Amino acid sequence: MYGGYNTISMGTGRKEFNPKKARPGLEHYIKEAGQGTLAQIGGAANVDEGVIGNFMAARFNNQANLPGFLPMIDEGLSMKPGVSVEGACGSGGLALQAGIRSVLSGSAEVALSLGVEVQNTYKAIYGADILAGAGWYPKRKAGHAYFFPGQFSDRAGAYFEKYGKDYARQGMSRWYANAIENARLDPTAQEYHNTTPDPYTTCLKMEPNGKFFVDNLNVLDCSKVSDGASAIAVLSEEGLKRIGIDKSEAVEVVCYVQAQRDITKDPSDLTELEAIKYAVQKAMAELGITAKDLATVELHDCFSIAGILTVEALGLAEKGKGAQFVSDGHTSRTGFIPMNTTGGLIGWGHPTGGTGVHQAVTIWQQLTGRAGDAQINIPADRPYGMTINMGGDDVTISVIIYKRG
């Protein structure tokens, strides 16, 4: 992969965001991200196929048939094959894997993978009904008004009961603090302008209140409503030669796994992300590595508890010890395995269909030294990066492992 580009993740938290004023639409974000990548790979003439990942444009924006927007990015994409893919919040990861499969099949030497979502068209309480489509909708009537915060509040509550609330809240608050500290280093992040003096203490002292929100999460534990897009090129070795880029400037996709859990069934254990655990362990086993060989991970922290549970799914901590692993600083940008180095979903933002692609852009930037102020050290003996993109409540999972070319 090469040529990653992120638009600003727009929403509450950005100084320029005003919910009462007109804002850029779907077309703006698709065009900006697509052109941002095309400018780095020699233009549209070098692209064979395109794919757009998106969750709910048909409802947030009353717009379907998204492949038709590829030629809008650049006339040079006109009449070239294009598809759109959907897997809820995992749609971006599916867009990456669709590009990978096109290249591996030989139908493309260069594929443009793009993910986008524009969802500030609705107030959060009404948008929650749309986002509930990422779960099994018959559960909607029995679920919380804020459906997915309710789902992950239940996971947090089960973790509190099993391992201790105060202990877990410390890990979750450290996760939030890491997200804000990292987002402040990336000008495209939604929380880039966040000036909270002590984000850890602020989150820790904000007691979850079910009368106001949900029982076991406060609003800081949650990713925000975001508008944005990200794009990156997926290339064969011939494709790299076509655009005139050396392998050392790209990241090699060394393993990828896509997995599905039955959306109609509740999780068998609320304190475990079983589909993520299956996918990450399968990917690492295929490559012959463990999580301790990874230099950095971009994981799907739609809620802080998801970050804790994914740390455990990776095998970096035993069940119930993930909160301690985070509290001890191991996932901070100066820790053993820095995670979500530009803020993740909580800090950078969560334009649902774009998140998986944004994760890949961040890994490409980090492994090739392009992350600017957000750059971390990549140890020579741990050259790998991983992205974990989740759709719904541990239902649609995309895991990709990368290495500098």
Catalytic residue among 203, 255, 300, 350: 350
Catalytic residue among 89, 203, 222, 302: 89
Active site residue 350: yes
Active site residue 203: no
Residue 90 β-bridge partners? none
Q: Which residues are catalytic?
A: 89, 350
